[in-house]
Amino acid sequence: MMYYSRLRMASVIGVCLIGLALCLPNAIRQPFPSLPWRQIHLGLDLRGGSYLLLQVDMNSVAADRLRGLQDETRQTLLHAGLGYRNLATTAHGVTFTPRTPEEGKPDLKALRAMPMNVPDEFTVSQDETGQITLALSADAARQRAYDAVTQSIEIVRRRIDATGAIDPEITRQGEDRIIVELPGISDPERVKKLLGTTAKMTFHLVADSAIGSAVPPPGVQMLPMADGQNPLPVYSHVDVDGADLTNASASIDQQSGEWAVNFTFDSTGAQEFGNVTRANVGKRFAIVLDNKVIEAPVIRTAITGGSGQITGGFSAQQATDMALLLRAGALPAPLNVIEQRSIGPSLGADSIRAGGYSLAAGFVLVIAFMALFYGRFGWYANIALVANLVLMTAILSLFEATLTLPGMAGMLLTLGMAVDANILINERIREEVARGRTALQAMQAGFERATGTIVDSNATALLAHVMLFVFGTGPVRGFALTITIGIVTTLFTTLLLSRMLMVRWYARVRPSTLPV
């Protein structure tokens, strides 16, 4: 307990020096590019930027599933050689009337055999009038809504990362909302446009026979053209889904010299794309993005390579953004911006200045208190306190953490908590001196009695803040992260560094009384 080997001393001092080296990039504007420097990122409240509160359109989620269920019902009945009348969607399901009363039981049998996305997703029943209803269950609807938000968060993250935004914060709020914080971005219009685009791409055969019809026949829908021309009738059935895309990129078409978007399918999409184009040579094939027809070229030959190109008079930025959206994937539902706030860099600078002043003031007061009440041992505690602050900054830099105002508050609180362990040790040493023990015995007993209390108290605080980090969101997580790191560094500086300083002083001086 009272002996420190040279290896142990070198290890403690080495950790402190490594921590100091990791802190340096935060104080240097342009670190040496040849070295893998890591720095602390400033959060939205310190750096300035934009705050967006998005809401997932749950009505669209339900409507999209109902349209899919309606199409699945139509395809199932047709494949089974069964007919239907008045196929339509309601608020909670799909309804239709069998072609003949005798087809009621075969209809029920075929529909109940349809695959479900989740267990017990829907029920199939027939009422007294003969109408058959496929009703979505409430549990399945809630699960689908939850999955839609989770999927939206992941897609939003991919889209924002592709714009080059540094350290965005994307979290869930409630059942249907997403918070997006963009430090350093004061004009988020492009990001809002990217997030407001569902980017759901599908491929449909064009119903040329319905062109000019006032009312499209069943299974056909009129979709507007992206260039503003007359709506085009396309079959509702999705022949190829854009979800099977694996890559998309913007390039200049060698023939026309215009910007285009090249896309590539995975094996499943390539096979479906090849089968559809092989069976429909000479027909028009519409490329639909967010319910708008981008273009509808004629299939000249079977396309089996699993790749294609979209042209439509794009600018360079439009082609780049469309390729980004297709690579990131389609949102399961539209996102609506219901709140937007911008924080200027001047407010962030004021926050940094105020936080720095509070941190410096608290640091000076703690040092003065320890020096005044505990003398030489108090100064050793102050040295450990400085090392504690350096190690906290080093760890935050190593993981490129985001520092926010709550994080700065956590650092200040850690400084106050860090001296508690030294106070316990010094008070225990005082008690042992008052009992008449020698200097060596007092230090030995003081260390032993205080260590258990220090470890227990910090362990419980560590568990509490780890749980706060796991279950918290936003600023709460930043505060908990800072405190958690501070507890670890406090244990190191108190149980190893400050004790080493005290032990080395005693071994060199061999005093008869202790300066405590």
> pLDDT (tens digit, 9 = 90+) per residue, 102-143?
888 888 888 888 888 777 888 888 888 889 898 888 888 888
- Please name the helix (run of DSSP H) or strand (run of DSSP E) that holds residue 52, with its range, or none: strand 49-56
Alpha-carbon distance 163 to 466, whole Å?
32
pLDDT over 70 at 437, yes or no: yes
The predicted structure's pLDDT at residue 200: 80
State the average pLDDT over residues 69-86.
86
The predicted structure's pLDDT at residue 348: 56
Structure tokens at 305: 């390579």
pLDDT over 60 at 494, yes or no: yes
- Please name the helix (run of DSSP H) or strand (run of DSSP E) that holds residue 432, with its range, or none: helix 405-434
Alpha-carbon distance 284 to 296, whole Å?
6
Share of the chain above pLDDT 90, in %: 4
Residue (of 293, 39, 328, 315) closest to 191 by Cα position: 328
Residue 302 CB-density burial (10 A; 0-12 exposed, 13-18 middle, 19+ buried): middle
Alpha-carbon distance 392 to 388, whole Å?
6
Alpha-carbon distance 423 to 380, whole Å?
11
Domain boundary among 311, 342, 373: 342
Let me know if residue 153 belongs to a domain. Answer: no
Structure tokens at 282: 């000479």
Let me know if residue 165 belongs to a domain. Answer: no
Task: Write out the residue range of the structural domain in which residue 445 sits.
Answer: 6-47+345-509
* DSSP for residue 239: S
Residues 331 and 443 in one domain: no
Residues 367 and 434 in one domain: yes
CA atoms within 13 A on the CB side of 225: 12
Residues 102 and 22 in one domain: no
Let me know if residue 182 belongs to a domain. Answer: no
Inter-axis angle of helices 138-162 and 316-328, to 10 degrees? 140
Residue (of 54, 137, 51) closest to 331 by Cα position: 54
The predicted structure's pLDDT at residue 237: 83
Residue pair 398/38 in contact (Cβ under 8 Å)? The answer is yes
- Mean per-residue pLDDT over the chain, rounded: 83
Residues 313 and 411 in one domain: no
Q: What count of residues does the chain have? A: 516
- 432 φ/ψ angles, rounded to the nearest 5 degrees: -70, -35
CATH number of domain containing 498? 1.20.1640.10
The predicted structure's pLDDT at residue 312: 67
The predicted structure's pLDDT at residue 15: 92
State the average pLDDT over residues 24-35.
67
The predicted structure's pLDDT at residue 217: 84
Residues 136 and 208 in one domain: no
Our count of domains for the chain comes to 3
pLDDT over 80 at 342, yes or no: no
Residues 443 and 294 in one domain: no
Model confidence at 349, pLDDT cuts 50, 70, 90, reads low
The predicted structure's pLDDT at residue 401: 80
**Distance, C-alpha 64 to centroid of its chain:** 25
Model confidence at 201, pLDDT cuts 50, 70, 90, reads confident
Alpha-carbon distance 440 to 446, whole Å?
10
The predicted structure's pLDDT at residue 381: 87
Alpha-carbon distance 67 to 89, whole Å?
7
Model confidence at 489, pLDDT cuts 50, 70, 90, reads very high
The predicted structure's pLDDT at residue 387: 92
pLDDT over 60 at 31, yes or no: no
Structure tokens at 11: 């290890």
State the average pLDDT over residues 269-277.
87
**pLDDT tens by residue, 289-322:** 888 888 888 888 888 888 888 776 778 888 888 8
Residues 213 and 361 in one domain: no
pLDDT over 70 at 464, yes or no: yes
Residues 336 and 421 in one domain: no
The predicted structure's pLDDT at residue 32: 59
Structure tokens at 421: 């362990």
Pairing of strands 292-295, 84-89: unpaired
Residue pair 124/133 in contact (Cβ under 8 Å)? The answer is yes
Residues 292 and 408 in one domain: no
pLDDT over 70 at 35, yes or no: no
